Amino acid sequence: MRSPKGLAVCMFSRIMPAHAAGGMQDHVQTLSAGLARQGHAISVITTARADGVEFEIVDGVEIYFLRGTAVGRYSAAFWNLSARKFEQLHADKRFDVLHSQSIGAYGVYKKRLPRKYRLPLVTSLHGTHFDVVTTSWHTDFALTNPLGLARFAAVAVQMLWNYASRDLWFIRGSDVVIATSDADVAKYRKYYRLPDAQIRKVYNGIDTRLFSPVTNPQSLESLREELKIPANDKIILALARLQKDKGVQNAIAVLPRVREKFPASLVIVGDGDYRAALENLARDLGVASHTRFVGTQSLVECARYFHLCDLFVDPTLRTDGYDLTIAEAMACAKPVIASDVGANATLIDAAARDGILIRRGDNEALLGAILRVLGDAEWARAMGARAREKMLARFSIEAMVDGMERVYREFAV
C-alpha cells in the first residue's frame, strides 16, 4: 500500500552494505528500501567506498558515498562533507525529514542545519556508550591481563569522552529518538535523560519471506555435501562477526561435550580478526574436523544456512541491541539459544517458550540448552513454530516500515 504522499527523507549512516557485511548496514538498507517501496524518496549520505564509487541506486534508494572520508568510520571530514552534501541535495530535493543512524547526522546537527531548514531530526540508536563499556568489561577486563586492562581503560575513557563532549548533546537535541527494543526505552531515559515524549519504539524488522521455513528440505542436501557434514550429524549454527565479544568461542568450547551425547557439527558463518583464534581453539579441543568456517555470506546464502541447521546459537558477550541473526533464525522457525544481554529479551520470551536465554558466558547453561534442544525434536519444533509466529506479527520489514512512517508523519512539518 503506497503512502498518500511520499516524504523525502535524508538518511545519514557511516556504513552501508557496500562497505562491509554487518547488522547495522543491513538494517539501514532494509529500512530504506522498505520506505522506498512505500513511495518515499530516500537518500542516504555515507562514507567513502574503497573502490571510489560515489553514487549508486540500490532497491530504489539513492546512496551518496563521500570521497575524502574514511571508509565506514566517523571523522571530522565526514561531519563536514555530509553537512555540505545535505545542503546540496536539499536545494533540489527539499527534504521533509532528517534521519540519523546512530550519530551519522552529527555534522548536520553541529552546523544547526535542522533548525535552519526547519526539518525534524529523527535519531535511531544502535546501542549506547555504556553498552560498549559493559561489553569491554566482560571481554577485556582481567587483573591478570595487563593488555586487557589497558584496552578496557582506553575504551571506557573514549566512550565517556564521546558521551560527555558530543553524543549526549546530539541525542538530546534530536526531535525524536527511536528505541528498537523494550530495554532501550529505559536506557534512554536513564543515560540521556530523555522524556517519554521524545522516545518512540520501532522494532528492527527482517525479511520474513527470505527468512522463512524451508519448503524443500531435499534442496539442502547439496549444501550439506559441500560442507562435508555426515548425514546423521545435527547441525549447530553460529552467525556473527568473528570478534571475541561475539562469544563464538563458547559454542566451540562446548562442542566436545555435545558430541559425547550426539553426532554434531558446528557451522560458523562470518569473518573477522578473531577467526584464527577460533580455528586454533577448535584444533586444541579436537573438534576442528567437526567445525566448519564458511566466511561471510550474502543474506540469501545466510538463509540457506538457517534452513540447514537444527539449532542456532548466539552466545554473545556483547551488550547491545538485539542481533538480527536471532530474529532471522526465529523467522526460519529454528530453535534459538542466546545470551540474556542487551535487548535480546525483546525477541525471546522464555516464559512464552519461543527461544532460550542463558546467562552471559555460562557455558554449562549453553551446553544444557543445546542438549535439551537436540534431545527433544518435537519440543524444538514447537519452539521454532512459536518463534516464527512472533516474527511475522511484530518483527517483519512491513511492521518496521509502518512504524517508522508513523514517526516521520508525526514530526514532519
Compute the distance between CA of residue 88 and CA of residue 318 in angstroms, rounded to an integer: 39
Residue 333: name the closest of 359, 360, 312, 302 by CA.
Answer: 312
Contact predicate 78/71, CB 8 Å: no
pLDDT exceeds 90 at position 153: no
Confidence of residue 246 (pLDDT cuts 50, 70, 90): very high
Least confident of 47-51, 70-74, 160-164, 287-291: 160-164
pTM (predicted TM-score): 0.79
Residue 406: name the closest of 188, 178, 181 by CA.
Answer: 178
Q: What is the pLDDT of residues 283-297, one digit of tens each?
A: 999 999 999 999 999
pLDDT exceeds 90 at position 123: yes
Residue 12 in 3-state DSSP?
Answer: strand
E strands present in 350-391: 356-358
Compute the distance between CA of residue 141 and CA of residue 148 in angstroms, rounded to an integer: 5
Q: What average pLDDT does range 96-115 have in this prediction?
A: 97
Residue 395: name the closest of 336, 339, 348 by CA.
Answer: 348
Q: What is the pLDDT of residue 303?
A: 94
Residue 15 phi/psi, 5-degree rounding, is -145, 145
Least confident of 137-141, 190-194, 278-282, 355-359: 137-141
pLDDT exceeds 90 at position 331: yes
User: How distant is the alpha carbon of residue 152 from its chain centre?
Assistant: 23
Q: What average pLDDT does range 162-169 have in this prediction?
A: 83
Higher pLDDT, 24 or 337: 337
Rg (CA), the chain: 22
Compute the distance between CA of residue 266 and CA of residue 290 in angstroms, rounded to an integer: 6
Q: Do strands 55-58 and 176-179 pair parallel, antiparallel, or not at all (unpaired)?
A: unpaired
E strands present in 306-394: 311-314, 336-339, 356-358
Percent of the chain with pLDDT over 70: 94
Q: What is the pLDDT of residues 380-409, one digit of tens each?
A: 999 999 999 999 999 999 999 999 999 999
Q: What is the pLDDT of residue 159?
A: 73
| Options 3.40.50.300, 3.40.50.2000, 1.10.10.10, 2.40.50.140; CATH of 217-394 | 3.40.50.2000
Compute the distance between CA of residue 87 and CA of residue 146 in angstroms, rounded to an integer: 48
Q: What is the pLDDT of residue 151?
A: 77
Domain 8-205+396-411 has CATH 1.10.3210.10: no
Q: What is the pLDDT of residue 1?
A: 36
pLDDT exceeds 80 at position 49: yes
Q: What is the pLDDT of residue 2?
A: 38
C-alpha cell at 103: 550519530
Residue 152: name the closest of 142, 144, 161 by CA.
Answer: 142
C-alpha cell at 122: 529523527
Confidence of residue 144 (pLDDT cuts 50, 70, 90): low
Domain boundary assignment for the chain: 8-205+396-411, 217-394
Give the sheet arrangement for strand 336-339, strand by strand. Answer: 291-295, 264-269, 234-239, 311-314, 336-339, 356-358
